């Protein structure tokens, strides 16, 4: 099995690159681009749909030859809701940075039946999950209630000293309506950036059991199993989740030994 912790490359350009082939799975792909002002990235989505998430900064976006204008607003993922763009399979796209830009490129299988669109901050629902030191703040970028073929995309802010994706849950069985099979990536950022946290990915039988120290810019892979994470005191944790599987729905199973925490 590939390593579950992926460290970013230094410098500008594509600093993270995960494909189904490199991850050893079937559905999810994720790239993270850091671009200086005036620099560009372009690609053709072919047989995969794409969600471009403006993690920080602004850029001019073209999809299928159409200029969608300058997208983006926040300069940090800790400053409000993101701008995003949905790109259908088969369309070429490009982004030219108008400011220093951090761009998440989320992808999964698609056929091109859902049209391109800009996803504005005002379009996004937000919710608070958990309570006490398990409180975290969720922004739904591409939930199952919004049009797409495979992708589910969400951002989460976890305050310092809090846990997230907790109590531990999993979604690795195609057993609807009880549980859906979804691969998942976590792109992590910390505020202040020198912070760190922890994430554990494990199965009931412990055939997979990996605990990782996570730092600013790291990517973690969740091929199966439970996957809680924790932010250390003084350092807020942001993560961008990408999920996809054979059916586009998020149905999870809580670890039974920890489920009592929900009733507290």
Instruction: Tell me how far the alpha carbon of residue 258 is from its chain's centroid.
Output: 25
Which among 252, 77, 53, 243 is positioned nearest to 157, based on CA atoms? 77
CA–CA separation, 226 and 223 (whole Å): 10
CA–CA separation, 181 and 39 (whole Å): 37
Average pLDDT, rounded, for the chain: 96
Q: Say what the pLDDT of residue 1 is.
A: 58
Locate tokens 């500008």: which residue?
12
Mean pLDDT value of segment 23-32: 98
**11-263, what's its fold?**
Jelly Rolls (2.60.120)
pLDDT in tens, 179-223: 999 999 999 999 999 999 999 999 999 999 999 999 999 999 999
Q: Say what the pLDDT of residue 57 is.
A: 98
Q: Where are the domains of the chain?
A: 11-263
Q: Say what the pLDDT of residue 171 is.
A: 98
Assign 78 to helix, strand or coil: coil
Global pTM exceeds 0.85: yes
To 5 degrees, how large is the angle CA 32–CA 229–CA 192? 60
Determine how many CB atoms are found less than 10 A away from the CB of residue 84: 25
Mean pLDDT value of segment 131-146: 97
The answer to whether residue 87 scores a pLDDT higher than 70 is yes
Q: Say what the pLDDT of residue 135 is.
A: 97
pLDDT in tens, 67-77: 999 999 999 99
CA–CA separation, 228 and 162 (whole Å): 11
- How far, CA to CA in Å, does 35 sit from each of 2, 150, 206, 243? 28, 27, 40, 25
């Amino acid at each position: 099995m590939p390593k579950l912790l992926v460290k970013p490359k230094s410098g500008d350009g594509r600093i993270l690159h995960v494909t189904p082939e490199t991850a050893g799975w079937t559905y999810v792909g994720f790239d993270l681009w850091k671009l200086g002002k005036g620099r560009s990235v372009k690609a053709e989505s072919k047989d995969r749909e794409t969600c471009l998430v403006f993690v920080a900064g602004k850029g001019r976006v073209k999809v299928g030859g159409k200029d969608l204008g300058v997208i983006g607003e926040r300069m940090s993922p800790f400053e409000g809701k993101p701008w995003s763009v949905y790109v259908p399979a088969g369309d070429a796209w490009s982004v030219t940075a108008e400011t220093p830009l951090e761009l998440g490129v989320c992808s999964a299988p698609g056929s091109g039946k859902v049209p391109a669109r800009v996803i504005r901050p005002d379009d996004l629902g937000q919710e608070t999950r958990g309570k006490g030191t398990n409180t975290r703040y969720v922004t739904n970028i591409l939930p199952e209630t919004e049009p797409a073929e495979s992708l589910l995309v969400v951002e989460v802010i976890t305050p310092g000293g809090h846990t997230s994706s907790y109590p531990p849950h999993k979604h690795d069985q195609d057993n609807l309506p009880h549980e859906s099979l979804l691969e998942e990536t976590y792109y992590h950022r910390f505020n202040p950036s020198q912070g760190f946290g922890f994430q554990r990915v494990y199965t009931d039988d412990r055939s997979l059991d990996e605990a990782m120290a996570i730092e600013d810019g790291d990517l973690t892979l969740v091929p199966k199993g439970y996957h809680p994470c924790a932010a250390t005191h003084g350092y807020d944790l942001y993560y961008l989740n990408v999920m996809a599987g054979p059916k586009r729905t998020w149905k999870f199973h809580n670890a039974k030994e920890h489920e009592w925490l929900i009733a507290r």
